[in-house]
Amino acid sequence: MSFDAPVYYVFLAIVVMVYWRLPWRAQNWLLLVASYFFYGWWDWRFLFLIATSTVMDFWLADVIARSRNPGQRRSCLAVSLVLNFGFLGFFKYFNFFVGSFRELMESLGLGTVTGPVLDIILPAGISFYTFQAVAYIVDVYRRKIEPCRDFVSYALFISFFPHLVAGPIQCPAHLLPQTSSPRCYAPGRVFDGLMLIATGLFRKCVIADNCALLANAAFSGQLGEPSTATVLLGMYAFAGQIYGDFSGYSDIARGSAQLFGFHFNINFRQPYLATCLGEFWRRWHISLSTWLRDYLYIPLGGNRRGERRTYLNLLATMLLGGLWHGANMTFVLWGGIHGVGLAVERWLGIKPRLPRCLAAGEDSKGVPSPAWSLWLRRIVIFHLVCLAWIVFRAASVAESLHYIGGIARWAWQAEYVTAFAFLALFSLPLLLLDLILERRNEEYPGEKWTGAVRFLPYAGRSALAAGLLLMVLVFGAPKSSAFIYFQF
């Protein structure tokens, strides 16, 4: 049940209409049943997996919170981590590590090593709900939060369908209080949710799906052998595709949650307007970068153990963050590129801008930056990110290197003019949209519109939403692409 499929909105409308007619505990039961139905729509066999993880973590967290025995607390934490990461490792990385071990042994001249290769189906969303469950158990262990005493509320925290398949990963301290207490119907929040859904559909169906047509053609060789033109086309198109795809998904997820009175933290803040890689990771997939910081980088020592250790921690965090995306060396290399980049920026003393400096066009110290300097840094960082996207998109490291190497080969065909025009038609609106949101510090276009007539802001934003949906109908790609992050 994909967020861009009509059946999802039939499902969503039915659940919303029933939901607001129930008391809050019955609302939780309804959302839990609806979430398991939603997840079972993908593959009912994996319902047992998420249910097992939920039951075990609920019980272990309670034991950890009640115990005063440090050894018992550590043992329960270890059991939870082994369970969660064991499920994730088996379904996502078993064949990857077996294959990597075989290749290593053969490269050392130890002969052909045989090993099991299983036809393992990756459960939808396993990386996302695993990280959310780990965040909960670790926070309880650290005594940062109290364990949830109501099983239904905790199960809903893990499986709430808007974030279940591809996030955003929810902080326990933010979402658990919402599942554990009554929600109030707020027309303004519901309206904002509908606007986020409309914006998300535009990003996904108009921007991402059309950019995907060009990216797939470029990377598959349909536009010819890698050359300056085809590399640029593929690189820019995939940059538009993955951003439009995942930010669109996040908007729809956040909008769907708001229809039920929940609030999800924002997951994207115009990442391609970043002026350094550190700032990019404060804008891109914020829920994942925050999780990596809080539950990996800081426990490794963060920046508290000297500069050399800080560089190693940055590199290790990003390598594991890359591996989180999938069982392929391309993701590890992609994470390594960003890890090295972050370490170099720290060595050079380049600091990301604070949130209050972003819309004001100021540097990390709050000093206004000249427009030419700001845009020069944006362009440089955007292209570094795009080059890394080539590695991310390629099927293998060798393929990515072959593709990048093609940028030095000049070849031109008349069809490239049409391809670049197509790319501009469906990528420049994304840039324009981000510039508007950055300037006005909004989550969706028109969020802060005001008017002398009370209904005017709602009427104007409703007209904007209608226009976005009309563009989805008119300019939506003829063939919808699956959400990229569903595979992670």
pLDDT one-digit tens code per residue, 216-236: 999 988 888 899 999 999 999
pLDDT at 474: 84
CA distance 475 to 295: 42
Q: Which two tokens stand for residue 95?
A: 């064949």
Q: Residue written as tokens 């189906």?
A: 121
pLDDT in tens, 126-146: 889 999 999 999 999 999 999
Tokens encoding 12:
């969503």
| Interhelix angle 126-141/151-159, nearest 10 degrees | 140
Percent of the chain exceeding pLDDT 90 equals: 64
Name the residue with higher pLDDT: 363 or 440: 440
Q: Which residues are catalytic?
A: 325
Residue range 245-269, pLDDT digits in tens? 999 999 999 999 999 999 999 999 9
Residue 10 has pLDDT above 70, yes or no: yes
Q: Does position 115 have pLDDT exceeding 60, yes or no? A: no
pLDDT tier, 101 (very low <50, low <70, confident <90, very high otherwise): low
Q: Provide the mean pLDDT of the chain.
A: 88
pLDDT per residue over 364-417, tens digit each?
A: 666 777 888 889 999 999 999 999 999 999 989 999 999 999 999 888 888 889
Q: Is pLDDT above 80 for 355? A: no
pLDDT of 143 reads: 94
Query: Is the pLDDT at 453 greater than 50, yes or no?
Result: no
**Residue 359: which pLDDT band, with cuts at 50, 70 and 90?**
low
Query: pLDDT at position 100, please?
Result: 58
